[in-house]
Chains A and B, each alone.
Chain A
Amino acid sequence: MTVNASVYHYVKPEIVAALASDEPFANAKQQATRHAFAEAILEVGEANPNVVVLNADVSKSIGTNKFAEKFPEREFNFGIAEQNMMAAAAGMASTGLIPFACTYAVFASMRALDQVRNSIHYPRLNVKIAASHSGITPGPDGVTHQAQEDISIMRALANSCVIAPADSPTTKQAVWAAAEYNGPVYLSFTRDPVPILFDDDFPFELGKAVTVRDGSDVTIIAMRDLVAQALVAAERLAQDSGVSARVLYCHTIKPLDTEAVLQAAKETGAIVVAENNVTYGGLGSAVAELLVANNPIPMRQIGVKDTFAESGPYLEVIDKYGLTSPHIVRATHDVLDHKARFTRPVSLAAVA
């Protein structure tokens, strides 16, 4: 069956066309979003001389060595010392510089959390934390490098802003938005390549979720690398079951776009949240917290469930932990069953 392209927004036509195929991203251009960040920071640094790049011996891995070549006086390697880097970034920001502190997500959110909390977020200093290897995107590196908790941890900090872009074009937009925003921002990037999904004219606005696929039966809310999985799942649901699934790309986990989520809840009556992050405290929790207080409709969470992950190729690993499109499809059917029970009209006659 051909794909109805008219329901998709800002998704590249070649991506849309291939969504229903057996291997939807086989021919898609891919790039790790850490590398998209490295490209973007070059341009941002060109435009704003206050931007400086700090790294903890990861400039080759992330690709900010290009920034170092172009702006050698504005790049600072702290060696493998993330705590020092984060508090030094705070000191730099206090003078008016805009530091982008680069490391891996496990170290940014855990090793250096005391500095990130007390020296950056408490005084609300203008530090951008560029965290690669976020979620279980470093498949083969093992648990020490898989940051399955970073989104939850960073979301829990007061004064935090947490962004997890899905692909290269929106990563670049996120980097610009972070540089323009005054306050701490946590940017979450993938280690492994992910498909380039969106057009360059994607309307990226910090804190604004974007409907990238129309749908009326259910909404799949996704972040970072699972947006690709959500698109595949939504198309599979349409093709196989005639289910009309909306896909809401929620690149900003905090502040959550409460308006878009509540609108989706109202209009579709069921929600599946898909995140490559633990189910505690991340995007799924944020949505659940909002719904339970406003419109407690049926909801399901796709995420890592209280376990450390195995190591291996990225897609095989995330499939084992239930994060790929077939799992999203199953969760969607499940939530639709729930919705059907949930919304069944109560017979007043029977009560009487």
Chain B
Amino acid sequence: MDDTVAHLKLKSIRYRKSVLAMIKHGGAGHTGGSLSCVDILNVLYNHVLNVSPDNFSHPNRDRYVQSKGHSVEALYAVLAERGFFPAAHLETLNTFQSHFVGHPTRKVNGIEQNTGALGHGLSVAVGMALAAKLDSSPARVFALLGDGELAEGSSWEAAMTAAHYRLDNLTAIVDRNGLQITGPTEEVNALEPLPDKFRAFGFAVRQVDGNSVEQLLRVFLETPFETGKPSLILARTVKGCGISFMENNVKWHHKVPNDVEYASALDELDAAEAQLLEQLNPNAEVSSWN
């Protein structure tokens, strides 16, 4: 395992701890979905996006739109660690007058667009990508979509437009965890064959294990997959990934762990972290984790 991958894995574990701490402390949150997409956010913010607290107002920065706004805890965890705001602010999650509410808003530094109403984010990203093309800006646009969200027809309106305007500066990532709040997506309102659908809508499609930082690193480096086409990364993920008793369990869509569950989840993450640190070159570890 090279150091980059090891450090990203370490970050994923720590982001997961942060997500759980936030939700436990705030008393509410989208646990399962945040845990399924946190590796995607990890790779994006640490290795893909040209965006940082220093360049966040620069017109040529890369844009990230989290269409599945409810998984905001993963985004908060990553933005805090990347220095967009002090991590202590996360303790205000869900409290009166905090900007850290249950869906993203632009009041939080680092967040590009208010989301939460599903089926908007890909359209917003299309608008940003069109603007970048118009301005001849090198900015790239990335949008994270939920799989359950794809039942919203506006997602497909946006997909059509992305292909029509040949937006190869746009990459959509589907957090394909297979579950939504009332059950498996294939039982609620079947999405498959999802890769074929996106191909038919004009996207260049790649499928990866969306909880594998190695695979994510590789696939993001290959964007755009085809000149003149928007890219679609179908990230096959596990809802609740990283905590054994939360994985693939729809019950954890919006559940707060009780004290016993929380302790048990942390034990699992501590064990994973310890195991990873053992494998890691200790000098490299210290230097890259700030």
Give the CA-CA distance A97 to B128 in the complex, in Å. 10
Q: Mark A81-100, 1 if CB is under 8 A from B, else 0.
A: 10111111111111111010
In the complex, what residue of chain B is closest to A56 when comparing beta carbons?
Answer: B157
Give the CA-CA distance A76 to B154 in the complex, in Å. 17
Q: Does A327 touch B at the CB level, under 8 Å?
A: no
Give the CA-CA distance A83 to B153 in the complex, in Å. 9
Interface pair A91/B105, CB less than 8 Å apart = no
CB contacts between A and B, total, < 8 Å: 105
Size range of the interface on B?
Answer: 20 to 34
Q: Which B residues are CB-close (under 8 A) to A114? A: 117, 120
Give the CA-CA distance A87 to B127 in the complex, in Å. 7
Residues A88 and B127 in contact in the complex (CB < 8 Å), given A115-B120, A123-B106: yes
A94 vs chain B, min Cβ distance (A): 6
Q: B129, B131, B160: which contacts A79 (Cβ < 8 A)?
A: B160
Size range of the interface on A?
Answer: 20 to 34
B57 vs chain A, min Cβ distance (A): 11
Main secondary structure of the interface of B (DSSP, over half): helix
Give the CA-CA distance A79 to B165 in the complex, in Å. 12
Interface pair B123/A123, CB less than 8 Å apart = no
Q: Which A residues are CB-close (under 8 A) to B114? A: 118-119, 122-123
Interface pair A74/B134, CB less than 8 Å apart = yes
Q: Mark A45-78, 1 if CB is under 8 A from B, else 0.
A: 0000000100000000000000000000110101
Interface pair A91/B123, CB less than 8 Å apart = yes
Interface pair B134/A73, CB less than 8 Å apart = yes
Interface pair A94/B161, CB less than 8 Å apart = no
Interface pair B117/A118, CB less than 8 Å apart = yes
Of residues 277 through 295 on chain A, the ones whose CB sits less than 8 Å from some CB of chain B are none
Give the CA-CA distance A217 to B115 in the complex, in Å. 51
Interface pair A88/B112, CB less than 8 Å apart = no
Give the CA-CA distance A81 to B128 in the complex, in Å. 17
Q: Does B126 touch A at the CB level, under 8 Å?
A: yes
Interface pair A90/B117, CB less than 8 Å apart = no
Q: B112, B134, B154, B160: which contacts A87 (Cβ < 8 A)?
A: B154
Q: Which A residues are CB-close (under 8 A) to B172? A: none
Residues A92 and B130 in contact in the complex (CB < 8 Å), given A78-B161, A79-B160, A115-B154: yes
A96 vs chain B, min Cβ distance (A): 7
Residues A81 and B134 in contact in the complex (CB < 8 Å), given A87-B127, A91-B125, A95-B128: no
Q: Does B6 touch A at the CB level, under 8 Å?
A: no
Q: Which A residues are CB-close (under 8 A) to B59? A: 95-96
Give the CA-CA distance A321 to B106 in the complex, in Å. 44
Query: Which residues of B come within 8 Å of A, CB atoms?
Result: 59, 65, 105-106, 112-117, 119-121, 123-132, 134-135, 153-154, 157-158, 160-161, 164-165
Q: Which 3 A-B pairs have the closest CB atoms?
A: A91-B127, A87-B123, A88-B127
Q: Can you list 9 A-B contacts with CB-CB less than 8 angstroms, sorted by A residue number? A: A79-B164, A83-B154, A84-B160, A85-B123, A87-B154, A91-B130, A93-B127, A95-B127, A119-B117
